[in-house]
A and B are shown apart, each in its own frame.
Chain A
Amino acid sequence: MLTYALVAGVLFGLYFSLVGMGLNLVFGVMRIVNLAHGDVLMLGAFVALGVATLAGIDPLFAVPLAFVVFLLVGTLLYWVLVPRLQGSANPEMLSIILFFGLSQVVEAITTIFAGTSERSIQSRLLGTVFSTIKVQLFGGKPQTGPIRILGQGFPAPWVIAAGTSLVAIGLVYVYLYRTRLGTLTRAVMSRRDEALASGIDVDRVSAAAFGIGLGLAAVAGVFAPFMFGSITPAFGADATVTSFAIVVLGSLGNPLGTALGGVVYGVCYMLVQTYLSSWADLLPYVLLILILLLRPSGLLGRRVRVA
């Protein structure tokens, strides 16, 4: 039981890291609270739903599709909303309200087109592309059913989601530390004014970060129907708070911090779920408040906050 909870916690935790990653990038770079983050997740889930039901192929193909679509959407949205917002007196506060409005719009439009019913995707559809390739190359029967880790069986989608998250975290790391745009992004993260003064095109860097942030959220959303069972247009709001808990738990502007935050969150979540299930709903909020009060810069963070 304990091993199960721990391994499931790590699997969920890796996935939760992916959930929080995009939010971390957006808040770290722009000091903007993207309250519509959860709604992008929800839209990503609907992309997966579309791929699985309309095209009838493995929902895994929705990953690159969702990423590219929301990368473009995010870059566009940045230019429409953010420069104007940052001209106002208190952009950090007003961003909360602005993106709340956006999340309402997204939720309303999705509800108008998709209705409020719960939707899910058959979990065996996910990853069929792997088993098909395996069968073609090595022969044998397509493997179905749970994947065994440490003698315990776990649903295959959990493992696939965790694996994808690992890859995505790795790619974000490479982007931030091994590319030129990533270096500029980190410069904007640490001191926006100085980056501007040294001739960095802050808007272009921020637009890229915003696009990538939304893209990552959409990728996380592709797996949401498998991780949470089903999905509704109203799913976004809870997902946003959870993402915040994870981001703050790790630390701001540090993707490795978010990975750690996600795993800690996932393990706590599974342990509480296993041993004290009626209190599990409270966990994200209590954890968030505690960490904000005791260590506002997160587990791995330097102090970033002034006064």
Chain B
Amino acid sequence: MPNAVKHVLFILVPLIAVFAVLPGLYQNHLLLFNFVTFLILAQGVNIIYGFTGYLPFGYVGFFGAGAYGFAVLVMHYQSPALVAVLAAGLVGVLLGLLLTPLLRLSGAYFAIANLAASLAVLHLVANPALEGITKGPYGVSLTGTFNPSHAYYAALVVLTLTVSGVVFLKNSSFGLALQAVREDAVSASMAGVNVVRMRIAAWLASALVAGLAGGIYAWYVSVFYPDNVFSGEFSIFAIVFALFGGVATISGPIIGVLILYGVYNLIGFTTPQYFQLIYGLLIMGLVLFLPAGLVSLATRRGWHVP
């Protein structure tokens, strides 16, 4: 059995099956939806950071842009939710295209520029001068399309798409070429890899899934403000979850989301400062003691982790 089939059978299918069944067994649907959203975002970060080494510190820019793409289509053109979700993905890709020049930057420069880009999009959307289009800082309300259960299953579809994408990267020469570019761009281009095209493809793919996730998020919550959908927490959480599990693997980000977001909800929101303190310490400990993620505990022993 080829590896790709194994990965689909033993990782993707069980994951989707569990999340498809859970809403019938568990009452807190919002929590389940958030899990799915973070699974998508963590895998999106995995595509760009794990396979190309670019740290998208402003990843939420695509998510927020997608949410507002959805909102604008629904508010001004009364389009059906599914069309608007596709448009949200398109908005993510367009923003990604607009930001491709950033890929010329390396290391921390890229991360900071990406963060600045996401904040620029936030301030553009939240600008009172654009109230006619985005409703500025006053938030949007999309009661017409409100349908949480459809949105939840749409999110599952996007999750399937995203994880399949990572399975593909893990098992194809394309993914191997990307990792070669990450390790040493000059050697990779010597070996005949089209470095620029590879990077842009990965970049747009991760922008697409974040845009779709943002659109579905807008569909699910239906009332939101710019500060909600552009909250830096989305970028940070997605990066930390992916890193905690271990990037450039299929299972790492999934494990990361399930464990860390689970812990997040166990500690609860009652005392945000204490939560923030614990979380900060956790992040620091992670970087200092387990920089390659949980899966490195297994790979260090020579076990193969998909």
| Pick from A101, A107, A108, A289: contact of B102, CB under 8 Å | A289
Contact code string A194-225 (vs B, CB < 8 Å = 1, else 0): 00000000000000000000000000000000
Instruction: Say whether B288 faces chain A, with CB atoms less than 8 Å apart.
Output: yes
Q: How far is A96 from B65 in the complex, measured between Cα atoms in Å?
A: 24
Main secondary structure of the interface of B (DSSP, over half): helix
Q: How far is A109 from B288 in the complex, measured between Cα atoms in Å?
A: 21
**A244 in contact with B112 (CB, 8 Å):** yes
- On chain B, the residues within 8 Å of A103 by CB distance are 280
- On chain A, the residues within 8 Å of B292 by CB distance are 89
Q: How far is A97 from B113 in the complex, measured between Cα atoms in Å?
A: 16
**B236 in contact with A89 (CB, 8 Å):** no
**A108 in contact with B274 (CB, 8 Å):** yes
Please report the total number of B residues contacting A with Cβ < 8 Å.
47
Contact code string A278-306 (vs B, CB < 8 Å = 1, else 0): 11011011101100110010000000011
- On chain A, the residues within 8 Å of B124 by CB distance are 282
Q: Give B115 Cβ to nearest chain A Cβ, in Å.
A: 7
**A94 in contact with B276 (CB, 8 Å):** no
Q: Give B57 Cβ to nearest chain A Cβ, in Å.
A: 7
Q: How far is A293 from B112 in the complex, measured between Cα atoms in Å?
A: 12
- On chain A, the residues within 8 Å of B276 by CB distance are 104-105, 107-108, 111
**B283 in contact with A101 (CB, 8 Å):** yes
**A289 in contact with B117 (CB, 8 Å):** yes
- On chain A, the residues within 8 Å of B129 by CB distance are 278-279
Instruction: Say whether B133 faces chain A, with CB atoms less than 8 Å apart.
Output: no
Q: A89-B291, A278-B127 known; A293 and B243 CB under 8 Å?
A: no
Segment with Cβ contacts to B, from A43-51, A63-71, A80-88 = A80-88
**B116 in contact with A241 (CB, 8 Å):** yes
**A248 in contact with B112 (CB, 8 Å):** yes
Q: How far is A126 from B129 in the complex, measured between Cα atoms in Å?
A: 37
Q: How far is A284 from B185 in the complex, measured between Cα atoms in Å?
A: 31
Contact code string B231-268 (vs A, CB < 8 Å = 1, else 0): 01000100110010000000000000000000000000
Q: A104-B283, A108-B280 known; A97 and B106 CB under 8 Å?
A: no
The residues in B between 270 and 298 inclusive whose CB is less than 8 angstroms from any CB of A are 273-277, 279-284, 286-288, 291-292
- On chain B, the residues within 8 Å of A292 by CB distance are 102, 105, 109, 112-113, 116
Q: Give B103 Cβ to nearest chain A Cβ, in Å.
A: 11
Q: Give A79 Cβ to nearest chain B Cβ, in Å.
A: 13
**B113 in contact with A288 (CB, 8 Å):** yes
- On chain B, the residues within 8 Å of A282 by CB distance are 120, 123-124, 127
**B55 in contact with A96 (CB, 8 Å):** yes
- On chain B, the residues within 8 Å of A29 by CB distance are none
**A305 in contact with B112 (CB, 8 Å):** no
In the complex, residue of chain A having the shortest beta-carbon distance to the beta carbon of B275:
A108
Instruction: Say whether B119 faces chain A, with CB atoms less than 8 Å apart.
Output: yes
Instruction: Say whether A176 faces chain B, with CB atoms less than 8 Å apart.
Output: no
In the complex, residue of chain B having the shortest beta-carbon distance to the beta carbon of A293:
B101
**A104 in contact with B277 (CB, 8 Å):** yes
Instruction: Say whether B139 faces chain A, with CB atoms less than 8 Å apart.
Output: no
Q: How far is A64 from B127 in the complex, measured between Cα atoms in Å?
A: 40
**B273 in contact with A85 (CB, 8 Å):** no
**A81 in contact with B239 (CB, 8 Å):** no
- On chain A, the residues within 8 Å of B273 by CB distance are 108, 111-112
**B57 in contact with A296 (CB, 8 Å):** no
Please report the total number of A residues contacting B with Cβ < 8 Å.
48
Q: A292-B105, A292-B109, A307-B185 known; A100 and B283 CB under 8 Å?
A: yes
Q: How far is A245 from B116 in the complex, measured between Cα atoms in Å?
A: 9
| Pick from B111, B115, B185, B281: contact of A105, CB under 8 Å | B281
Instruction: Say whether B108 faces chain A, with CB atoms less than 8 Å apart.
Output: yes
Q: A100-B283, A101-B281, A237-B232 known; A93 and B102 CB under 8 Å?
A: no
Q: How far is A81 from B274 in the complex, measured between Cα atoms in Å?
A: 22
Instruction: Say whether B104 faces chain A, with CB atoms less than 8 Å apart.
Output: yes
Q: How far is A211 from B118 in the complex, measured between Cα atoms in Å?
A: 31
- On chain A, the residues within 8 Å of B120 by CB distance are 282, 285-286, 289
| Pick from A85, A107, A237, A286: contact of B287, CB under 8 Å | A85
Instruction: Say whether B128 faces chain A, with CB atoms less than 8 Å apart.
Output: yes
Q: A93-B111, A108-B277 known; A284 and B102 CB under 8 Å?
A: no
| Pick from A84, A93, A245: contact of B107, CB under 8 Å | A93
- On chain B, the residues within 8 Å of A81 by CB distance are 284, 288
Instruction: Say whether A19 faces chain B, with CB atoms less than 8 Å apart.
Output: no
- On chain B, the residues within 8 Å of A305 by CB distance are 105-106, 109
- On chain A, the residues within 8 Å of B305 by CB distance are none
**A97 in contact with B288 (CB, 8 Å):** no
Instruction: Say whether B157 faces chain A, with CB atoms less than 8 Å apart.
Output: no
Instruction: Say whether B186 faces chain A, with CB atoms less than 8 Å apart.
Output: yes
Q: A96-B55, A281-B123 known; A101 and B105 CB under 8 Å?
A: no
- On chain A, the residues within 8 Å of B288 by CB distance are 81, 84-85, 98
Q: A97-B240, A97-B243, A305-B106 known; A112 and B274 CB under 8 Å?
A: yes
| Pick from A279, A288, A293: contact of B104, CB under 8 Å | A293
Q: A101-B283, A108-B277 known; A96 and B102 CB under 8 Å?
A: no
A-B interface, 3 closest residue pairs, ranked by CB to CB distance from nearest: A104-B280, A101-B283, A105-B280
A-B contact pairs, 7 of them (CB 8 A): A93-B55, A98-B287, A98-B288, A244-B112, A285-B119, A293-B102, A305-B109
User: Apart from A89-B292, A285-B116, what are 14 other A-B pairs with CB-CB below 8 Å?
Assistant: A92-B107, A93-B108, A94-B291, A104-B276, A105-B277, A111-B273, A278-B129, A281-B123, A282-B127, A285-B117, A288-B112, A296-B109, A305-B105, A306-B106
